[in-house]
Chains A and B, each alone.
Chain A
């Protein structure tokens, strides 16, 4: 599963969801859905986010293998 540090990074920089949405040219709802993990971004949006925060993609989006449950 894909987790991300979007909310943490946004709050560190003191940016509102609306401002981030405007900078990335997406809706505020998309930012909300990304932050709570309901929506995974396209690779293009992931690159945009990475450029915006000046961090590599893998430092923002973290892939975790789903543990198998018996």
Chain B
């Protein structure tokens, strides 16, 4: 059985962040007018959700080595890995079109140039990462 310490840290930190975010919003809204309380709530909820999910999964698997083995096989199964990779590749192709459409929409709406340039930068970065991995894998295979 895996160690639970990482998951427990996530649960505790998550709860603390949610509590802090809630206190910021309820207690002193005028002092914390910015996005910090919402960031605390969002990150806290995410950390708590992931940590508690992992703990519940470990609890469900406890005393059931057959189910644990089944999950391990399913995670490493070559068809499942191929399916996940194909889905990711398709989603990446779609993302390029969606990003392109979004950039065009922002430009047509005459949005602030900083936002458009940030979006263009992110788009180019993603394309650059894709080219980088293509070249790297080309050398490896």
Q: Which residues of A contact B (CB under 8 A)?
A: 21-22, 25-27, 29-30, 33, 39, 41-42, 44-45
Contact = CB atoms under 8 A, between A and B. Distances in A.
Interface of B: 73-74, 76-80, 82
Interface of B is mostly: helix
B84 to A, nearest CB: 13
Nearest to A26: B77
Contacts of B78: 26, 30, 41-42, 44-45
A29 B82 CA distance: 13
A30 B76 contact: no
A29 B79 contact: yes
Contacts of B76: 25
A67 to B, nearest CB: 27
14 contacts: A21-B73, A25-B76, A26-B73, A26-B77, A26-B78, A26-B79, A27-B80, A29-B77, A30-B78, A30-B79, A39-B79, A39-B82, A41-B78, A45-B78
